[in-house]
Structure formats: structure tokens, C-alpha cells
Structure 1
Amino acid sequence: MLTRTSTQSLTGQLADRLAERIRTRLLPPGARLPSVRECARQQGVSPYTVVAAYDQLLAQGLVEARRQRGFYVRDSAPAQEGRLPNAAPMVIQMMASRVPADASSLIRSMFHRPSDKPQPGMGVFPPEWMSSTFMPTAVRRMTSTAALQELSLQYGEPSGDAALRRSLSNKLVGINVPAAPDQIVTTVGATHALDIVSRTLLRAGDPVMVEEPGWALEFARLEALGMRILPVPRRADGPDLEVMAQYCQLHSPKLFVSVSVLHNPTGYSLTPGSAHRVLKLANEHDFHIVEDDTYSHLAPEHATRLSALDGLQRTIYVSGFAKILAPNWRIGFLAASPELKERLLETKLLATLTTPTLFERALSWCIDQGQLRRHAERVRIRLDGARGRAVKLAMAHGCTFASEPAGLFGWVDTGVDTDALTQRMLDQGYLLAPGSLFHARRPPSTMMRINFATSQDAAFWKVFSKVRAEL
């Protein structure tokens, strides 16, 4: 909070706080700053202090004053119009028209936490949840003198370490995804795998179907590549098939991006009936499906996956280990048909040549020894308990769940505008994930995504309840 004992003036403190939020896109381009009177009330300072702080932001070129409308964050890179030609009115209404400018804020928060408090908006487990003794053992095995020389002083295999690809192939058998080792390509995390697929199968201007609500970074990443996003509403049983069918008839999309199991942010999982109809559409209209199974380690093995039903004919399976094991090892992978795999490998070669063998070999040992499986079981048990506590706290403080709580995330209705709520909670040291982030056009929303692992703190919910009441 602003303090009068600081060596910096209240004006300087307020200007610096708002400037930092603008630079980290917690206040995105186009966002309206609170009115002078409202900001003075929120911060407990005089209107004169707020006016002086806003003047500093104006001088730095971070905001602009609009006559009789207030102060707005400057948009240094105006968004391009994103409408598709000849779209039906329903389609136009749902189309993405700009990049969600602050999609990176959730990613930045992983590196720059607003405080030492638990952060309900985070997208990862707390580090202490992933601490283990077997990971150091695996690394030590790979850094013995002979192994370190072998794995470090030459490029690895372009497709990825052969031992890891064999381990991954065996692991995929457990979820009925038929992928031989030579159908697998390792990547620098699952996001890199998604990027390889996009750069291989798409060209600027191509229409891509993406589930909505969906992962904020995926909307921003595809827009940055020049793709045209077609948001597909995600329901409890799967994507809205009527909307998909209209898109197919009007725009001939090249790709559908889906999180089949423990969907982010709703927690929904695909049903077999919906999966079959999605695959039928893909065959009829000749598009590929990239299945992002990032949360596979938290899901039951019997969960329905498009790649298992399709046998990797039109599907490309993507997953990784940052969420469950080692974020900084940056190991992900993709699996595809033999023909498509070669095209995907070419894209990887152009971007990164190879991926680091040392950590890939260490991960292979963790999988083969059963260490990863046992670790995931411990995390799931701990998450089940955390989820129960977080749900009780959320409901006790007036929130409702839009979907049955499952997996790592909860999709919560707060009853107030969560963009405004997010800015107010930052003043209290908490980062939220507002519902608008998970939509292509970022409409106002009363929804927010909570991380069950970091939402068990009763102190957070008390502050949340107080701030929401003020709104």
C-alpha cells in the first residue's frame, strides 16, 4: 500500500505502481484508469495526488487523456480488424477482433509475483508441491563424467532423445494413444509443440477454431502469427458442434485446437459421443485437430481422448511435464502420423535444431523407474484435498461454480466485473485470472479462474469478499 513514511512521495509511488502494471500488461492497452475521485478513494489519498500521478503517466507516454471520458492506457500497437469476409451474423459476433493484450500477464506473474501471498490466479502448482528426491538423483546419473561428455559435446537427435521417445511411447499405451517412438518429437515444453504445429500447418490469414473459454496465451499466440480465430463455445460434453459445423461451411478452417481432458479453465472433459462427432466433422471438412493434453497427469486413464479414437490420423497429440514435474526442464512433446511427423520435425529443425538431451534422458529414467507415476499420484491426492477446501471457501464467500470442480482449476462466478476486481485485488497483493482473459474478444465477465492449489487461504477469501462488496 502507499505509505507516507516512504522516501518517495505518494504521487511518485502511485505513478510507479500504475506504470508497472501498464508495462506488465496487467493494465492492458485501451483500459480505462479509475476516475480521479475513485482512485483517490481506493488509495486513501487526495484527488490532487492522483491528478499529479496521472500527469506523470501522461508525460511518460503511458496513458492518454480523452476529453470528458478520462484517462486510458495508450495502445502502441493498434489491433488489426479480425473479421472474416462473408461471415454470418452469428459468426461475426463471436469472432476475435484483437489480441488479448494482457494475455502475457499470467505468464509474467510466474516470474514476478505481486507478493509472497498465495496467488489464486497462478496457472501452476506451488514449487513445494513438486519437490522430490528422485529428480536430483536422475540428474546426477546423467551428469557423471562419461555421460556428461556424451550428452553435452554433440548435438542430440533431431526428433529428441531416443530413450525418452521410447519411454513416452510406452506411457501413451496406457491412455490408448498409438504412437511409436519414431512418431514422437520432443519440444521445449508443450507451448513449443503447439507452436510447431501452427507454423507447419497454417499460413497467415488461415482460420483456426479454438475452444472458448480457453487458454489466454493460445488466443494471443495464434493472433500474433496472423491467424483468424474462430471461437467455439466449450460445453460440459465437448465443443459446440453446431458452431463448428457453421464455421466449416463458411470458412473451411485448417485446424481445431482442443483441450479434451480437464479443460482449462472449466475442468470439463470430453464425452465419447462428442468426440466421435468432432472426428466426423474433421474427416468431412478436411481439418486437423491438435489435442493439448497438458493436464494428462491429473486425469484418469480412461478419460476420452480424440487421439486415442482417431489413432493419430487427423489428430496431433501434445503434452508436457512442466505442470507436474519440472517447469525449468522445459520438456514437452508431440505425436503425429509418420507422414505429418516429418513435416513437424522440419519446423523444429528450422527453429531449434535439437532439444537438450541431458534433461530428456533424466526424464526418461524418471518415467521408466515409475517415479513420475508415483509422484503424480501423490500430487493428485493432495490436489483432491485442496480442491475440497477451496470449493468450500469460495461458496462460503458468495461464489458459485459454473462447472463441476475438477482438476487444477475452478471456473467461478463472482457476481461482479472481474477486470475491476483484479485491479483492486492487486492493491492487496493478490493476482486473479479474470474471465475476460479466457475469451478471444475479452468481453466483460463476472467469471474468474482459480487455482485450487493456491486458493485454500482463508485470508485471501476474506479480502476478496471485502473488495467485492466495495465494488
Structure 2
Amino acid sequence: MNAATPLPSTALSRDGEATLAAQLAARYAERIEQQLLAPGARLPSVRECARRHTVSPSTVVAAYDQLAAQGLVEARPQRGFFVRGPQSLRRPAQKPPAATGSAPRIRPTDAAAMIRGMFHGVGTPGPGMGTLPPDWLDLPLLNGAMRRAMADDDSALRYGEPAGDLRFRTAFVQRLADIGIAATPAQLLTTMGATQALDVVSRTLTQPGDAVLVDEPGWPIEFARLARLGLRVLPVPRGAQGPDLEVMRALAQAHRPRLYITVSVLHNPTGAMLSLAAAHQVLKLAEAFDFTIVEDDTYAYMAPVHAPRLSALDNLQRSVYLTGFSKILTPNWRVGCIAAAPALTERLIDTRLLGMLSTPTAPERALAVTLEQGSLRRHAERVTARLEAARMRTQRLAQEAGFHFAAPPQGLFGWVDTQVDTERLTEAMLDRGWLLAPGTLFHATPRPTTLMRVNFATAQNAALWQTLGEVRRSL
């Protein structure tokens, strides 16, 4: 199957042994069990489902009744049918809180289920994916770096260093200097990717019950991870220039947060870049209300080196910088890095050692080779040039199909306004074999939205946008 071909959908058979209602129920049951439909997700209305599958409303009612009898869905009066989950997920959805109100309750399994669903059973990259297509990556570069890193080296036979491979940390210091962050190898520690880096920082600097500021829209895994740590998640609306500073001030004054976790450069999902003026104001608020800024620079190699980094402006005084290499090099090499003030670095190492005795030396040493020889930089230049062409093509296809971007297209992701509820759009597109990333996924408290995230590298498909347009008209 090539990238231009959507996944096949399963049609209902009028000649089969099973009734239409049983087939329809089985189809939705499979999606629920595979977590393509997350706990709390709303099934299509009876009328919409009947139209979509060309069956009678009574057939849909019978199918939904079968799902309810199996304990997979529940009927909510005047609202429809919803996928069941743990008891905590069966409460009515809460309204978004006011800026100075209590922190929202997060439904952590939603993010995990929906993320798994985005990747489940997909043979080719899709518009909702979060990584580059494999054919954009450089396997010979990876193989060559690994061979050179491990030649005549017995480090793979021992535990790694407590802070991570020194050769990698030394090489990475120059990369940090390129983006304006002055640090020494002693201020760095490695992790199993940027996700673990965020976890290490959160566990070191917070306790259950603490409040944490986050960008909204933002990364769903981060919302869920923080909730599972018992932290109170305080969403701050994120705009084209940065966070809503008035909301941030109000939340900071009311809740005294311990952290502000942000993607300042090529924000996920909007692609926005923090302005210099906004960066200065965020640093002032951190000083005034005594919270630490955790700057996630996951997309660093796709961004201009001169883009404002809070950690560069702050010199790692009230900020912690972290990044990873999965987006630019390979998702399989789980290497992340944290840069922090010297005193904090020792605490972070202790936290990481308690969760994982050491990180694997081999990929860290191989990454050092790519940094020392400049091969990672050259690869990143090729990727960003290809990504620029992909953005232009995707933007043209989207506009021709009648869609527009809610934020200037930059980096890997685009934030598209579909003008219809993207949960409904996602369900309808799933019937046609396309997996999307609906906007509700990127909110701390799920809510209806017309926005969705697309991956420019995997959305250059005229058939995708043609189908999106057709489905939108039907909705």
C-alpha cells in the first residue's frame, strides 16, 4: 500500500450470515477494543450512523443496544451513546474552568488510548501521525554512526555513567551554544527520550497536589502524565506569539504553580513560535511567582537556531531545557537530554537513577559521532528543506479543498480549521481509512472543536483533502 492509498474500510454485507445490526455492532466493538475509539468518545447519532452505513435507524439502535449489553458503550439521556471506560470516565464532561477557578480533572486514559489508536494498524504514515515518514530518515547514517561508536569499545558491557555518556554530553554542549545556551557537560544528563526527561524534571520539582501550568492546546501525553503524578494541571491558552499572559498571571496568583511546561519553538500542535517580547514577560512572571520554566525543545532541529529560547534568555536560572532526537533522527533511538543549573542537575540525576539505573551508552555514543562529524546537522538541513516543500504543497491542497490554517504553517505540524466538529470528522474519515488527530485530543479537558492537527510530511495527498472536503460537506 502506498502513501496515496487510504486504508480499506469494512463494508456491511447484506448477504452475510450475521444481521446488519450484528455486523455494525461488531465493527464498533472492534474499534473500541483496539482503542481506535477512546473512553468517553461519542458514537455517531443514530440518524448519522444510519446514513453513513446505508441502513435503517432501527438497525443502528439494535447495534448500539448490543454494544451497551456488552458493556462497551452507555446511553446518556438527550446526549447519545458514549464509549465506556473506568468509573472516573463515566461522569458527565465538565465545563472548562475559568482562569482563576479550580484546575480541571484530566482523563488520563483518553490520551493514551487515542495516541495508540492513531498508530494502531497503520501500514503507511497518515495525516494524524506525529513523526517523519521512515523514507525521510537516513538509515545508512544511523548504521555508520553506531558502527563507529562501538568499534573497539567495551562500554556496552558496563552500566553507563550516572549522568549519561560523557562523549555525547561534551559534543552536545556545542549544539547548545549554537542556540544561545551556555552550559558545561556537568550541567547535562541524558534520558530515554524527551518524554522521560519531562518525567524526571516533574518528579524532581513537584509533589502530588502541586499546580503546573501548561500550554493549551498542547501535548496530550503530557496532560495525562502530569495527571497521573497527582498534579493539578492549569491550562494557559497558547496564541501565535506565546501564552495568554493575563491568564497566566491570574492562574499563578491563584494557584502558585511549581512549573510552567512549554514548547516555545515550533509549538505542538500549532507550530507557533514564542516572540521575544512574550518570552521576557514569561520570565518576569516566573520570577514574580517563583515557578520553574520547563522548556521542551523537541523540534529544535526543524527550527531556526535564532528562535528565542527561554533557557538562553534566562541562562538556566529559572528554566530547565530539554530535548530529544526522535523527531529528526529516528523514533527508535530513545535519547533525550536535560540542561539545568549545576545544583539542580545533581537532583535530577538522583531522580533518574532511582527510576533507571543508567541509560544505554550505544545510541548516546552514536549520537555523539553524528554531532562531532556534522552528519546530524547536514541531515537536519535536508529534512527541513524537504519539509518546507511539503508545507507548501499541503497548504495548497488544503486551501483548494476549502480549508484554512488557524496559525501560520511552520515546522512539522499544521493547525487546520475544518469548520465542523473534528471528533465527528475523525469518525467519518475512519470509515474511509484515514486516521486524523482531532483538536479535542490537544485540550486538557476534552471539548468540541473544529480544529485538527496535520503532519505536513504525511498530508501531501490530494486524495486526503478531497475526501476531507466530501466528508465535511456531508456533516
Shift, 1:343, TM fit: 0.8
Note the residue ranges of structure 1 that are not aligned, 5 or more in a row: 82-86
Q: Could you say if the C-alpha distance between residues 356 and 89 of structure 1 is closer, same or farther in structure 2, counting changes exceeding 3 Å?
A: closer
- Say which is worse superposed, 29-38 or 399-408, in terms of deviation: 29-38
Percent of aligned pairs sharing the same letter: 56
Shift, 1:305, TM fit: 0.2
Q: Given the alignment, which residue of 199, 205, 210 partners 1:206? A: 210
Name the counterpart of 1:152.
156
Q: Given the alignment, which residue of 303, 306, 321 partners 1:299? A: 303
Q: Given the alignment, which residue of 76, 94, 106 partners 2:86? A: 76
Note the residue ranges of structure 2 that are not aligned, 5 or more in a row: 1-9
Deviations 1:139-161 (A, max 9, x none): 222444x42xx122211111111
Q: Distance in 2 between matches of 1:242 and 1:92?
A: 14
Q: Distance in 1 between matches of 2:22 and 2:303?
A: 48
Name the counterpart of 2:142.
135
Shift, 1:88, TM fit: 9.4
CA contact (8 A) 1:79 1:97 kept: no
Name the counterpart of 2:111.
103
CA contact (8 A) 1:114 1:430 kept: no
Q: Given the alignment, which residue of 383, 401, 412 partners 2:405? A: 401
Give matches, 1:151-230, under 5 Å: 151-230=155-234
Q: Could you say if the C-alpha distance between residues 361 and 12 of structure 1 is closer, same or farther in structure 2, counting changes exceeding 3 Å?
A: farther
- Say which is worse superposed, 396-405 or 377-386, in terms of deviation: 396-405
Q: Given the alignment, which residue of 274, 278, 285 partners 1:281? A: 285
Q: Given the alignment, which residue of 450, 453, 458 partners 2:457? A: 453
Q: Distance in 2 between matches of 1:8 and 1:345?
A: 61
Q: Could you say if the C-alpha distance between residues 337 and 8 of structure 1 is closer, same or farther in structure 2, counting changes exceeding 3 Å?
A: farther
Name the counterpart of 1:40.
50
Amino acid at match of 1:59: A
Amino acid at match of 2:290: D
Shift, 1:12, TM fit: 4.8
Deviations 1:264-289 (A, max 9, x none): 11111111111111111111211100
Q: Given the alignment, which residue of 310, 313, 332 partners 2:314? A: 310
- Say which is worse superposed, 7-16 or 392-401, in terms of deviation: 7-16
Q: Secondary structure at the match of 1:97?
A: coil
CA contact (8 A) 2:215 2:236 kept: yes
Q: Distance in 2 between matches of 1:91 and 1:113?
A: 42
CA contact (8 A) 1:2 1:13 kept: no
Residue 120, structure 1, aligned to residue 130, structure 2: no
Deviations 1:278-307 (A, max 9, x none): 111111211100000000001111110000
Name the counterpart of 1:84.
none
Q: Distance in 2 between matches of 1:71 and 1:60?
A: 13
CA contact (8 A) 1:64 1:72 kept: yes
Q: Could you say if the C-alpha distance between residues 30 and 105 of structure 1 is closer, same or farther in structure 2, counting changes exceeding 3 Å?
A: closer
Q: Secondary structure at the match of 1:164?
A: helix
Name the counterpart of 2:324.
320
Residue 413, structure 1, aligned to residue 417, structure 2: yes
Deviations 1:432-467 (A, max 9, x none): 111111111122101111111111100011111111
Q: Could you say if the C-alpha distance between residues 72 and 111 of structure 1 is closer, same or farther in structure 2, counting changes exceeding 3 Å?
A: closer
Name the counterpart of 1:238.
242
Shift, 1:45, TM fit: 3.3
Q: Aligned residues, how many?
A: 463
Amino acid at match of 2:116: R
Deviations 1:13-54 (A, max 9, x none): 433332233234442323332233432221233445434433
Q: Could you say if the C-alpha distance between residues 331 and 383 of structure 1 is closer, same or farther in structure 2, counting changes exceeding 3 Å?
A: same
Q: Secondary structure at the match of 2:332?
A: helix
Shift, 1:113, TM fit: 3.8
Amino acid at match of 1:257: I
